[in-house]
Structure 1
């Protein structure tokens, strides 16, 4: 197992996903988020199929032991994608990225509620600190302390937060899925089901995109599929507990991309809130290592996000 190679693949996947998010953010100035989600899902399928064929795993990818579990994962994933793209269309890229960092915090809380996992004082304190960071980022969008927030900002902030909560539910669901379903099957059928679900939104306001917007939508799909492959491959070379810490490098990418391509400068509130969330997330990761959480279980769970 080459740890450095795994770290490189993880960071590369984050860069690819940020590039995808940038194309989506640009495209959603013209098309609705649900339409962008359809293209993201549809054009990821050829990439995933090509990857499975190259590894001789296509037949395994088509096999479903529990179709209902795949359906739940696909529907929730499609909803999360549409919410995430809605947030991208209404918030600065660093803000949407930072709010997404709340996912591990919600996982801890939901694990305690639904899986009856014991949350000790250390982890509970880390989660509480992280929630303070989330509130700091959200506060300008939801209060009048920093001027009057627009309806778009409010909606975008709530969409980003709801997406983070649903992703936490998906992670819990994946913990049960990986007991019977293969990695390739989960990846393949998610793309297919998400395409169908997002395609059902066609009557709800889709528009005919211009040429350049169409190119961006297609590229977003290809990059989404490619990023998923890089992410999955990274867990073959390094433990998930090691790679988890590098998730937060995406904030650096988000700030750079937001500034260069969208003329977005993160506020101090965003930077402070993000720093608090990152710190709390790292505390949770450290605690999981101390408790001896299985890296293999994390690998199977996180590789499908």
Structure 2
């Protein structure tokens, strides 16, 4: 049936996009372990910009207005430190565990949307956020119970929470940005501005890149572009409530990549905590039923 196919293709594209980005995380973890999270994040940003900018420019685009420039700059700054803290956490935590904890970002975004956009927070959203918080405690508590909560784990979780907070704010910026710019323009300025912002810290944090890290970085840059464009294509052709569940497939990808690349086991507390967080996200994002209309 045509309608079934039209719904299936965007879902498949979104699922592939999440897979591309999850595989990118694995390559970025490999690069970050070799040359540090900072250098790896900067190089990935510029590689991504070098791959996507020619495509955008080949279409003969008009340059952004001053207002759009401000949005590009705002998101570039936010996403730069969001990526840096996330990739730093990957050097300290298992891949699946980091992805699981990052799922709390959409729940944080609910409260930011209330503060910044004046949106109403429903009872379901409050309950969802409590489930997400409980899931986080289960994952962290599992580490403590198994005696794996050391200084590295503490810094990794703290770094990931900062990244999740920035990612939640990133949702707010993207919502405004997508209304005034296309996916290719957004991807170009997102990578380029993010790299330039992080470059200001080079005198303090830069490490000379090893040759062994260049291949993972090039692959990570290409996967970033592929994932971003796949998801943008999907969201332009299907409603968000149809595609949101694909985001949670990232945990399955991360668990597989973590084991395949780094032989990282997935613990029961991580699985249980992930289930709570994902349930909270599902409750928060599912469409609300309209109130019944009384008949005369």
Aligned residue runs from structure 1 range 177-192, under 5 A: 177-192=177-192
What residue is the counterpart of 2:133 in the other structure? Answer: 131
Q: How many angstroms apart in 2 are the aligned matches of 1:264 and 1:228?
A: 26
Larger radius of gyration: 2
Question: CA offsets, 1:30-79, max 9 Å, x none?
Answer: 2121111111111111332244356x2x514x423412222111000000
- In structure 2, the gaps of 5 or more residues are 291-296
What residue is the counterpart of 1:202 in the other structure? Answer: 202
Q: SS of the counterpart of 1:97?
A: helix
Q: How many angstroms apart in 2 are the aligned matches of 1:289 and 1:214?
A: 47
Q: Kindly indicate whether the alpha-carbon contact (under 8 Å) linking 1:241 and 1:289 is maintained by their aligned counterparts in 2.
A: no
**Residue of 23, 27, 38 corresponding to 1:23:** 27
- In structure 1, the gaps of 5 or more residues are 292-305
1:113 aligns with 2:115: yes
Q: Kindly indicate whether the alpha-carbon contact (under 8 Å) linking 1:39 and 1:220 is maintained by their aligned counterparts in 2.
A: no
What residue is the counterpart of 2:91 in the other structure? Answer: 89
Q: How many residues align?
A: 285
Question: CA offsets, 1:129-172, max 9 Å, x none?
Answer: 1111122223355xx44326222111111111111111111211
What residue is the counterpart of 1:253 in the other structure? Answer: 253
Aligned residue runs from structure 1 range 1-305, under 5 A: 2-53=6-57, 56=59, 58-60=60-62, 62-66=63-67, 67-140=69-142, 144-147=144-147, 149-286=149-286, 288=287, 290=289
Closer, same or farther: CA 179–252 of 1 in aligned 2, 3 Å: closer
Question: CA offsets, 1:61-115, max 9 Å, x none?
Answer: x423412222111000000000110011110000110011111101112222332
Q: How many angstroms apart in 1 are the aligned matches of 2:45 and 2:66?
A: 22
Give the structure-1-normalised TM-score: 0.87
What residue is the counterpart of 1:302 in the other structure? Answer: none
Shift of 1:281: 0.9
Q: SS of the counterpart of 1:59?
A: coil
Larger CA deviation: 232-241 vs 33-42 = 232-241
Q: Kindly indicate whether the alpha-carbon contact (under 8 Å) linking 2:23 and 2:254 is maintained by their aligned counterparts in 1.
A: no
Q: SS of the counterpart of 1:257?
A: helix
Give the structure-2-normalised TM-score: 0.89
Closer, same or farther: CA 182–65 of 1 in aligned 2, 3 Å: farther
Q: Kindly indicate whether the alpha-carbon contact (under 8 Å) linking 1:40 and 1:222 is maintained by their aligned counterparts in 2.
A: no
Question: CA offsets, 1:163-217, max 9 Å, x none?
Answer: 1111111211233334444444322211110110122222223222332212112
Q: How many angstroms apart in 2 are the aligned matches of 1:171 and 1:31?
A: 29
Question: CA offsets, 1:260-298, max 9 Å, x none?
Answer: 211101111111000111111111121x3547xxxxxxx
Closer, same or farther: CA 214–182 of 1 in aligned 2, 3 Å: closer
Q: How many angstroms apart in 1 are the aligned matches of 2:120 and 2:83?
A: 30
Q: Kindly indicate whether the alpha-carbon contact (under 8 Å) linking 2:39 and 2:209 is maintained by their aligned counterparts in 1.
A: no
Q: SS of the counterpart of 2:237?
A: coil
